[in-house]
Amino acid sequence: MNYYLYALAVLLLILWYNRVKFIIWSPVLAVFVYLGCPDKMGIAVYLTINILLLIEPIRTALISKPLMALIARLKLMPSISQTEKIALRAGTVWMDGEIFSGRPNFTTILSDSYPTLTAEENAFLNKEVDEVCRMTNDYETSERRDLSPQVWQYLKDNHFLGMIIPKQYGGLGFSALGHSAVIQKLATHSQALAITTMVPNSLGPAELLLHYGTQAQRDYYLPRLANGTDVPCFALTEPLAGSDATSIRAYGIVFNDNGVPKIRLNFEKRYITLGAIASLIGLAFTLRDPDGILGKESDLGITCALVKSSLEGVVQGRRHNPLGIPFVNSPLQGMDVIIGIDDVIGGMDGIGQGWMMLMESLAVGRGISLPSTCTGGIKLSTKVCGAYATVREQFGTSIGNFEGIESVLGHMAAMTYMMDAARIFTIGAIDEGKKPSVINAVMKYHSTELFRKTINDAMDIVGGAGISLGERNLIGHAYMGAPIAITVEGANIMTRTLIQFGQGVIRCHPFAYKEIEALGSNDAKAFDVNFFAHIGFALGNMVRMILLSVTRGYIYLPKSSGVARNYERKLMWTSATFSFMTDLIMGLFGGSLKQREMISARFGDVMSYSYLLMATMRRYKEEGYSKDSEVFMKYVGDHALSNIQKAYDDIAHNLFSGILFAPLRFYMRLNRMGRPANDQQLHRLATIILTQDEKRDALTKDVYVGKQLALLEEAFKLHNEAKPIVGKMKKAIRAHALPKAPFDLLIEEAVKKSVISKAEGSTLKKAYLLKQEAIQVDSYDVSTFVRD
């Protein structure tokens, strides 16, 4: 009898692990009950419960309806406002849904789009983008606080401001990847140049017109935006409304002008990029119709309109100074500015649709523009530091040979690989028409934070060469610009604590939003179906979590190859754990979950690092699971899993703190998902960027190599070529054939004594002279440096 019970128990675990429907595993459980409890009363109780759960009308009447009343009375489900509903419905669920599922489909994940540039986009990147970078002297731009007139004209003439506009309207019609690649490369040379180009191609008039404008609006404005006749900006942020865009005070009043309905606008905006020079302002405001001219409603909601800066009442002419980075960023005001209904984006149909437009269009800023700018900055930091740490010497050796520097360089290399993988993977989804709003928030947060970390590390490595501003400084302005990326499109503290998991738990969970909607509409049938499906989902994830945990993921057969197989197993384990614990905290906190921001942030960390690891695995597969990519895959895998483990530790520390949960906490410490990468991995990664070869070039692809960086790269190259020559001289010094002295002072003597050849002496002399030139910093005459 016991053998049958064991076999049935195993069968039940298998069924629950695979989340089969209740109607399938219920008979198996019935046999288990019968064999384990032959008492007739026990069987009768089980059958009664079974019938109650299986017959939907009975279940709905006896369980679901009373439960709905209880949930409403105890406020166990969060209330969702209309604006929150619009934000939640905006965009689509993508890889975030896989993470929340508890059972990610790696066949789908590993075959999802990982795009490449078209020939046309590549040509533009290597010609027009290189040319505008050559034309832009970043230090002079900083000093004059604007791009030169020649650069502005080149951007307009070559349609940089219209990359996202289709060719039929005169734009470049680039893919999201093409758009991203241009912004990324510009950011490796000049933050001001990148931001100036980025904004017209992000959330603004062109993006909104393409998706929501009338045909007449598109036909008129898009060609003007594509060729730079109109310079656009988008005015959303206000002194009293930042991240909380629903609180905007800018307003429009509908009035009757000789029988024609018009709108009188009043607004005060700030932090508006290109605001001071824009000829076409995209404006977000709340629209009111107190006299009912357009219909019965008086409060028409957030609306977006196109406002020509030449209109009476528009006040431009002032600029902010964003940490000295000289892109145009400005306040804007409007006093009794008159526009027509035709100026509303979408015309009459666009009235009151502004919030929806904004939420659906934020994908561009969060998913493309900011990750591209920041990945460019990360690549630049990695390329510069690899070369500089080789050329710069202390205590007779390159500073890159010190383990402290090496550990930082290794981490920079791996994070460059990971962030570029995530950038391309995310953009592949956007190019396919998806709008993964939660993943875009993940990308915004991690790309900007990683850029901040990387540029700080770079400043530590290059030291005074990063601090002393001037034409020789390769990273100073990037360092100054890092906090700007942190604050825009939703400040990072709020992105981590409110958006990633806060929106994801409702938007991406298979049942949560459906249950909330059913409760809101008092739809007992819909609630019943989704609630009991949710119960089965949670049960299956609990069993999956336990079995994957005790087997450390080895119960699962991975779809990937190479070292990724182990990380796929761990991701399957963490997804099941994440999904079950998500259901657990929804049950614990109910409607107050939105206010538990610190817990939410930690769950967001689990979700976001899971995504970054998925993206890296996708790149690893795209590269054919190559040996060269293996070291990156291993480091990123260990890095992501250790951060996931830390998040789980912090969750357990805060949620399961009593003595009752001590065994659980002990088990979690004993059976860890991951630990940080080891020193050997860091050494291998650092070696890649300290060696001038195709692996380093691939890692830092599309960094613009201007005059100063070319000089550093040449010094880097000659330094490596001179290493064997220096080795001969060191050997001669140890043998007392040469005296102890700086090598550059011994070159002629070494040649005379045939320690090295004349050609080797020439190479060594050139390497020293070039190194000396490459590590110089700018200085200025005191009489002209100090300003009156």
Rg (CA), the chain: 31
Dihedrals φ, ψ of 283, to 5°?
-120, 130
Output the CA–CA distances (angstroms, integers) from residue 670 to 30, 187, 383, 663, 667, in the order listed.
37, 44, 39, 10, 5
Which tokens belong to 99?
A: 């993470």
DSSP letters of 238-258?
A: BTTBSS-GGG---EEEEEEET
Nearest to 544 by CA among 104, 94, 95: 104
Give the DSSP letter of residue 395. T
Amino acid at 170: G
Residue 125, helix vs strand vs coil: helix
> Helices H, strands E: what count in the chain?
36, 9
Q: How many residues does the chain have?
A: 788
Give the DSSP letter of residue 336. E
Q: How many CB atoms lie within 10 A of CB 51?
A: 11
Which tokens belong to 771?
A: 């190194």
The helix (run of H) or strand (run of E) holding residue 282 is: strand 280-288
3-state percent breakdown (helix, strand, coil) of the chain, nearest 5? 65, 10, 25
Separation of CA 385 from chain center: 23
Q: Which residue has the tokens 């357990």?
A: 652
Which tokens belong to 128?
A: 């027009």
Question: 410-448 b/e with 16+ CB inside 10 Å = b?
Answer: bbbbbbbbbbbbbbbbbbbbbbeebbbbbbbbbbbbbbb
Output the CA–CA distances (angstroms, integers) from residue 310 to 205, 306, 338, 666, in the order listed.
16, 12, 11, 68
Q: How many CB atoms lie within 10 A of CB 207?
A: 25
The helix (run of H) or strand (run of E) holding residue 261 is: strand 260-273
Instruction: Classify residue 40 by burial, with Cβ atoms within 10 Å: 0-12, 13-18, 19+.
Output: exposed
DSSP letters of 355-380?
A: HHHHHHHHHHIIIIIHHHHHHHHHHH
Considering 98, 121, 128, 489, which one is annotated as catalytic? 489
Give the DSSP letter of residue 350. G
Which tokens belong to 28?
A: 């198996």
Separation of CA 672 from chain center: 27
Concerning whether 721 is annotated as a catalytic residue, the answer is no
**Residues catalogued as catalytic:** 489
